[in-house]
Structures are given as structure tokens and as C-alpha cells.
Amino acid sequence: MLITRPAKRENIGLLDRHMRFEICEGEQPRGGLVFDPRQRSGAITIGSETFVAARLSPKPDEVMYQALFRLMSGAPKRPANPFALKDAGEQVLALAERHGESFVVTRGAENYALRKPGIFKRLFELYPEGNTQSLGTVGQAKLFTRRLQMDLPASLPAAFQVFLLTLILDLTLQSMKNLSN
């Protein structure tokens, strides 16, 4: 099981809003995650490999008033702008598209659904396509902790597991932003 815990902040400056996490297996460090809430992207480091989790296109999501104008004018719906996990060579390893409070995730030929089992649950569960049996959980296990966990099978690569965590981080931060507006 992989866990993340907050990493020590270096002397970067007061205006740095990046969220920094250390990725561990047990108590052994395996890498890091630096999530930028403004760009909605994350830099993942596992060992000596680096990955990027970000939107395919930098354009922002459609806001409510833009959707209303689009509907009134009869314009076509915008194409989806999924999140992508890319390696150092810019090769797309996984794609995820948000549907409400859940995600449809594609990794190669495999499709998964990442969703909450209930409204009061904090952990998201990962389901293979067409299967009702969960592979494992991702998210915050306890309420008053900053530790996040990825309790998934070892057959899933660590970078993919952290990518699922970045999806949940982005969803949570967007929900908090919407509540404050």
C-alpha cells in the first residue's frame, strides 16, 4: 500500500501554493508528488522516473454561464478535456474523464471507474469496467489527518496509483473552490 504524507517545504517563498507530498511504501520513501492547484497539474516522481498529470489542453472548464449561453445559442458542446498521465517522453500512459463526482479512467486497453461508494465516505473505490468488485481504495482514510493512501493491487504501477490520487486532489480542490464562490 502506498501512502503520501506532506513533504517538508524548502525555502521557496511565501507565495508558493504548490502542495508537496512524499510517496512512501510503508515507511520507505519511493518518490514525491508536487501538485499545483492553479494549473491543476501534478509532477510525480517515482524513483528516478518522472511523470506529469495534467489536462491535455490548457483551456479551462466550461463555467455555468458559458454553458447557459451555449444552450441558448444552440452551439455544440465543447469536446472533453481529460486528465492525462504522461511519462518523461510525453507518451500518454492513462486518461481520465470526470463525470460528476467520479472518473472514467483508461490505461492502455483497460478501463476503470473511480467513484465514491457513498455520500459520507472519504475513500474512492476503483472498479474495473463491467465489474462490481472493487480493486481497492484511494484517498483520505481518516478525517483529521493529512495522510492519503492508495490501497490498490501491486500489479497497478505506482505512477498510475498516484495519478488516481491527483484526480481526487483536483476534484476536492475544485469542490472547495465552488463552495467558496
Q: What residue type is 73 in one-letter code?
A: S
Identify the pLDDT of residue 76.
86
Name which of 63-67, 162-166, 175-179 the model is least confident about: 175-179
Name which of 70-79, 126-135, 147-156, 170-179 the model is least confident about: 170-179
Q: What residue type is 150 in one-letter code?
A: M
Contacts of 152 (CB under 8 A, 6+ apart): 1, 2, 126, 135, 136, 137, 138, 161, 164
Sign of the dihedral defined by the CA atoms of residues 40, 43, 87, 128, in that order: negative
Q: What is the mean pLDDT of residues 43-49?
A: 93
47 near 31, Cβ under 8 Å? Answer: yes
User: Which tens digit of pLDDT belongs to each residue from 103-118?
Assistant: 999 999 999 999 988 8
The domain limits of the chain are 2-180
Q: What is the mean pLDDT of residues 150-165?
A: 93
Identify the pLDDT of residue 32.
92
